């Protein structure tokens, strides 16, 4: 992932409870705006193909299953480095682009297997801090981050302690996020809010803001394991928090919807949210990722349809 040379990484600015108390979310308005974005006619033909190619570069290609094996992770990494079949790359004129996904995302135990294949050509993101529930001890969680960084993860996807949000204990959320960011060192940290557990959009907005105040590089919706994962209304609330944080502090924080984003159409919707709410700068991998295990397969099918006019069966596309 290339980060612009003048990019200034977010840092802890202190917990501002006054700012937090002024955060309110109009749910009806967020739902209406989300519906209008979701129903909008998306870009067509060549433009759509270009957006889908771009979407590939934004994917954190993910496998987070209890039955993950070194072999599966190695196949995932090969796919991340060569996400499209050669005939499609040629037909789309992408030979010079060196197309790859944004990163791969795995459990700690799989970092070294990913590293064997990727050899630094793509970032490895490791989920951490007792993913997905986040209910191990603080000491264990911080150590887990340190071990993943030592094994070669350049990005750490932490899960927040949901009870801090549900009980309004913003100081505790701030403190844990500061500790995680510190343990990450140079590795970038994505704060998974597990929005499906947070009950209200106002909680989502406040948790987003506290994590950014504590130095999160990215805020991310979900682990993929909650009952409800990424949605457009939640995304609107989170990207608007990012916009407000940028306006007030000058820091640019990234966004990662994750969980259940499995179709090209959904990817285009999330890209539209980013473009309309934050602008083109937030359509680059240092500020936007889509966490997904099966999205790439659908994008490849849609691009094949663009090239040949036909859809192939899902099983014809190499899957990790």
Residues engaged in binding ligand G3H (CB under 6 A): 62, 64, 105, 223-224, 258-260, 262, 291-294
- Short-list 137, 145, 123, CA closest to 62: 123
Out of 79, 141, 206, 220, the active site residue is 220
Counting runs of H as helices and runs of E as strands, what totals does the chain give?
13, 8
Note if 220 is an active site residue: yes
Closer CB to ligand G3H, 89 or 274, in the complex: 274
Q: Which residue is closest to ligand G3H by CB?
A: 224
Dihedral over alpha carbons 97, 85, 261, 305 (to 10 degrees): 100
DSSP classification of residue 107? -
Shortest distance, CB of residue 105 to ligand G3H, whole angstroms? 6
Shortest distance, CB of residue 192 to ligand G3H, whole angstroms? 8
DSSP 156-173: EEEE--HHHHHTT-HHHH
Note if 265 is an active site residue: no
Closer CB to ligand G3H, 131 or 245, in the complex: 131
Shortest distance, CB of residue 241 to ligand G3H, whole angstroms? 20
Which tokens belong to 198?
Answer: 């947070």
Note if 116 is an active site residue: no
Out of 157, 197, 217, 298, the active site residue is 157
Closer CB to ligand G3H, 45 or 315, in the complex: 315
Q: How far apart are CA 102 and CA 1, in angstroms?
A: 6
Closer CB to ligand G3H, 88 or 106, in the complex: 106
Q: How many CA atoms lie within 13 A of 19 on its CB side?
A: 18
Indicate which residues carry an active-site annotation: 157, 220, 256
């Amino acid at each position: 992932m290339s980060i612009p040379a003048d990019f200034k990484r977010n840092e802890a600015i202190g917990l501002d409870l006054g700012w937090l108390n002024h955060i309110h979310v109009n749910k009806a308005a967020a739902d209406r705006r989300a519906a209008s974005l979701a129903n909008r006619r998306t870009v067509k033909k060549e433009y759509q193909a270009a957006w889908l190619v771009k979407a590939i570069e934004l994917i954190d290609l993910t496998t987070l299953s209890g039955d993950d094996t070194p072999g599966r992770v190695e196949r995932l990494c090969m796919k991340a480095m060569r996400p499209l079949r050669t005939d499609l790359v040629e037909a789309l004129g992408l030979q010079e682009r060196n197309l790859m996904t944004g990163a791969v995302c795995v459990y700690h135990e799989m970092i070294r297997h990913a590293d064997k294949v990727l050899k630094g050509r793509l970032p490895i993101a490791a989920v951490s801090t007792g993913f997905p529930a986040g209910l191990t001890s603080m000491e264990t969680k911080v150590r887990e981050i340190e071990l993943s960084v030592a094994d070669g993860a350049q990005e750490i996807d932490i899960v927040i302690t949901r009870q801090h949000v549900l009980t309004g204990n913003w100081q505790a959320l701030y403190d844990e996020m500061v500790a995680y960011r510190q343990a990450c060192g140079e590795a970038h940290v994505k704060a998974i809010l597990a929005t499906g557990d947070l009950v209200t959009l106002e909680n989502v907005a406040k948790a987003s803001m506290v994590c950014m105040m504590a130095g999160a590089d990215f805020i991310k919706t979900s682990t993929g394991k909650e009952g409800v994962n990424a949605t457009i209304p939640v995304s609107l609330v989170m990207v608007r928090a990012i916009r407000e944080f940028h306006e007030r502090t000058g820091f640019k924080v990234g966004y990662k919807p994750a969980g259940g984003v499995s179709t090209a159409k959904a990817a285009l919707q999330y890209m539209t949210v980013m473009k309309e709410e934050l602008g083109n700068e937030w359509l680059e991998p240092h500020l936007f990722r889509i966490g997904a295990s099966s999205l790439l397969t659908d994008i490849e099918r849609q691009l094949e349809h663009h090239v040949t006019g036909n859809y192939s069966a899902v099983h014809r596309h190499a899957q990790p």
